[in-house]
Amino acid sequence: RTTKAFHEDMGALGNLLPDIEPRATEYIPQMIAMIERLIAAGHAYAAEGHALFRVASYAAYGALSRRSRADMVAGARVEVAPYKEDPGDFVLWKPSTPDQPGWDSPWGRGRPGWHIECSAMSEDTLGDTFDIHGGGLDLVFPHHENEIAQSTCAHGGRPLARYWMHNGMLTDAGAKMSKSLGNIRTVRELLDEAPGEAIRLALLTAHYRDPLDWTSDRLRQARQTLDRFYRALTLPRDAVFERFGEAGKAVRPVREALEDDLNTPLALTHLHELAGAINRTTSDAERSALQRALETGGQLMGLLGQPPLDWLQGSAKADAERIEQRIAARATARRQRRFAEADNIRKELATEGVLLEDRPDGTTTWWRKD
């Protein structure tokens, strides 16, 4: 049930699902095998039903978090277990009580430590070394540091990952989100306030490595930004004029920003520039090429993938036929110079949350108001 809800939330945000979603309980044999290899190589040892990693055996321990061994030991907040050779040694396997989940192992019935799970699953699904390892900044130490130590020692010194990408944390009005403070916001809750695409854009307004302060104003601004982008895409365009060479040149700054450590704030700035250029130009050819560039740039970030009017009209689209009839009646009144009647129709629709825009070509476009 939890996995299904997670997939639904990720779909609402426009996230691609992973090819493989390993479950730790399905990899217990691989975890035991990795621990046995570490013990055989002298990087781990068994004690009182536990298996522990011998941190002193790995000279590069602490390189990712840039912590010295002395700092790690000094910063320990728990009493050192008597079966440890060194206070910094960490658990690979621990015994289970009768009421806890457990599996048979060479060290008795027990369960894996937190860190060995990830090392064993990545080895089995991705090999000894893979390209990118991600995670929150709060996982750098001890989790990722311990993953590196286990995997590197189990694989003869080969690195676990070539690149590490750590994301900043979400805060709520400046305060850390936590269950104890009762300020955690779930995707389901946010979807009651705004469409998933707006939530996605709001998250992209900060660089992934930086903290992001979540506020209702940030979400409101994200909706307004999407309104601006999609309105620019509703302006008249002609596929004949969508010169792919020009569009490719126009979208290049967006690509370059994303190639620079996923600089999404800068990429969004370039999308704003494209939308502004679309609104300013009087050239059909230039406008069509810029619209193609705006679409392409947005889609590189998982945005602007729906028909513009689907976004702009939103929930009001279910009432589209009646709204179109009112717009037609307004057009008739304007042609017949019954301007007061035409203004009343505009005001009537505005009270329903429907805004009208009269275009230079004589057509009228409408969208819902936030």
The pTM assigned to this predicted structure is 0.86
The verdict on 11 and 144 lying in the same domain is yes
Range of the domain at 28: 2-167
pLDDT digits (tens, 9 = 90+) for 292-321: 999 999 999 999 999 998 898 886 666 888
pLDDT reported for residue 208? 98
Strand ranges inside 2-116, DSSP E: 44-47, 50-53, 90-95, 110-112
Last residue within a domain, chosen from 261, 281, 306: 306
The verdict on 278 and 291 lying in the same domain is yes
The verdict on 356 and 259 lying in the same domain is no
Q: How many domains does the chain have?
A: 3
Residue with tokens 């939330």: 9
CB contact at 8 A, 200 and 247 = no
Please list, residue by residue across 185-217, b when 16 or more beta carbons sit within 10 angstroms of its beta carbon and e when fewer do: eeeeebbeebbbbbbbbbbbebbbeeebebeee
The verdict on 22 and 153 lying in the same domain is yes
pLDDT digits (tens, 9 = 90+) for 249-293: 999 999 999 999 999 999 999 999 999 999 999 888 899 999 999
Give start and end residues of each alpha helix (H) in the chain: 2-12, 28-40, 69-74, 114-126, 145-154, 187-191, 196-204, 216-234, 244-259, 264-280, 284-300, 308-313, 320-335, 339-351
The verdict on 158 and 32 lying in the same domain is yes
The verdict on 84 and 197 lying in the same domain is no
The verdict on 58 and 78 lying in the same domain is yes
- The rounded distance, in Å, linking the Cα atoms of 309 and 317 is 9
pLDDT reported for residue 240? 63
The percent of residues in the chain predicted with pLDDT above 70, rounded, is 95
The verdict on 212 and 274 lying in the same domain is yes
In CATH, what number is assigned to the domain containing residue 87? 3.40.50.620
The verdict on 230 and 335 lying in the same domain is no
The verdict on 99 and 22 lying in the same domain is yes
In CATH, what number is assigned to the domain containing residue 185? 1.10.730.10
Last residue within a domain, chosen from 286, 306, 326: 306
Last residue within a domain, chosen from 150, 167, 184: 167
The verdict on 333 and 253 lying in the same domain is no
